[in-house]
A and B are shown apart, each in its own frame.
Chain A
């Protein structure tokens, strides 16, 4: 079931020419966004590209210097209250009350959302269960792991049943297992038809979760499209085969004509869309007769994306 196809007719976020500068430093340099309801939209970019600032502007935390935006049909400037009532935000840094227990944190959210007492307790119990926090409910987040804190954080965001959720680098600082748990949580939300705007530094994360990706570079969107669109524009993904001698390399190059030869290294670079099937296909076409010394798989990362889209490595962003 794909939620995005059902809801895409309505717009959840529409932003035109958002600008924001702190003194001389321009952080947002005319950002345009259009996100459909039920869509998962990823803002991909390195530190300092303007991802967090975009989230802060769209979630009413800070005003933009210029540009207009509407969120779920409400103007960001004139109807900030209505926007706030419909969104949920999980920021980059954990937004939990470290002096309250997990359960008290959720109940506090319920109170601030003006939910009736019975509803507060019912939703708290459900969220604790759903986020695997029952054991930790009576403890303060000081005793939690990073993954648990993040789960509580997201649970607090969901207390108000928001229609649009901002997730600012939801897996930053998490170990691989917690990262996958978080991804699964996000997929579950999507299945319920919630619109999600997430920011990430990882191409893989955007690829895994998003229907559409916008690449942010120095406060500008330099590319936008489905993960497939973007990956097609990035030449980075390939399988690299290394051989013991030139004869083997010659044989391999005949079997895999799309490959690029590197005669000095005795290597062949074969474009690869990724996945087991395409790897199996390459190996099958190579056959048993050719002795391969070494095989490595290269997937494009953020650096490849930036190099492909801007001609510059992403590292220079911070200067």
Chain B
């Protein structure tokens, strides 16, 4: 066997380990579904009326739920980062990681396992969220190719945030700290993007930030694909941001992993 096939085999083993964890503790999934569902219901049934009326041209005449759901899907992707940071930190604070390090296991396999597990978990949670969204009146207009593109962008963004959360989990001193470190990803960045309202409706400083931060092209491209609106260059921007975050997260995680045990 070559080094590469061993690395692939070890990574697959570690992804399997993450999936077993998820099956044993569905809370790892439910935790990242519950929050977005609450926001979905809150915005559709309570806050959505006046927001929808104020959207005007941005909604292109569609109901607010169609504007909102791509944002909720993106928020679901982000919600997974908390779970990832926590599970990575748990691994690092127990002896299991030292066991892996003293075995002839390919070095990064435990991290790629977490990343792969995160992406698979995210595909499950976003599917569930989309189902709930359909129940509350979401009517997507996407073509088959559009749906594939949606899955692709969700997976790419999940992959990027997974590496970032792995790095956060490696850097955190405690499980609680790992969770707090991921809160900006879970809540701050989605709210300061065009997930809930168009960036153009925000105050000047926030508007600039919202227009230039990675979550905005992700949500805009998902929205364009799901509502059948013109895509523009948002999908490329979303993928470019995902690649950049993934690379930065990977390098940061690698440095954190090399620093060794606590």
- A-to-B contact residues, CB < 8 Å: 56, 59-62, 81, 84-85, 87-89, 91-100, 104, 108-109, 111-114, 140, 156-157, 160
Contacts and interface: CB of A to CB of B under 8 A. Distances in A.
A26 B199 CA distance: 56
B20 A89 contact: no
A117 B1 CA distance: 17
A228 B81 CA distance: 57
A114 B260 contact: no
A94 B260 CA distance: 17
Contact of B99 (A62, A89, A92, A100): A89
A165 to B, nearest CB: 11
B20 A96 contact: no
Contacts of B102: 59-61, 84, 87-89
B11 to A, nearest CB: 11
8 contacts: A60-B101, A61-B261, A62-B261, A84-B103, A91-B95, A91-B99, A108-B13, A114-B6
A104 B24 CA distance: 12
Nearest to B25: A99
Nearest to A91: B95
Interface in B16-45: 16-17, 20-21, 24-25
A95 B94 contact: yes
Contacts of A108: 13, 17
Contacts of B25: 99
A104 B20 CA distance: 9
Nearest to A140: B24
B104 interface: yes
B10 interface: yes
Contacts of A61: 98, 101-102, 260-261
Nearest to B105: A112
A62 B17 contact: no
B95 A95 contact: yes
B64 to A, nearest CB: 40
B100 interface: yes
A84 B24 contact: no
Contacts of B103: 84, 109, 112-113, 160
A135 to B, nearest CB: 19
Contacts of B57: none
Contacts of B1: 114
Contacts of B96: 95-97
Contact of A93 (B6, B10, B94, B260): B94
A108 B98 CA distance: 15
A112 B101 contact: no
A100 B9 CA distance: 19
Contacts of A111: 13, 16
- In order of increasing CB-CB distance, the 4 nearest A-B pairs are A95-B95, A95-B99, A85-B104, A93-B95
A274 B260 CA distance: 45
A104 B6 CA distance: 21
Given A89-B99, A100-B20, A108-B13, A94 B104 contact: no
Contacts of A100: 17, 20-21, 24
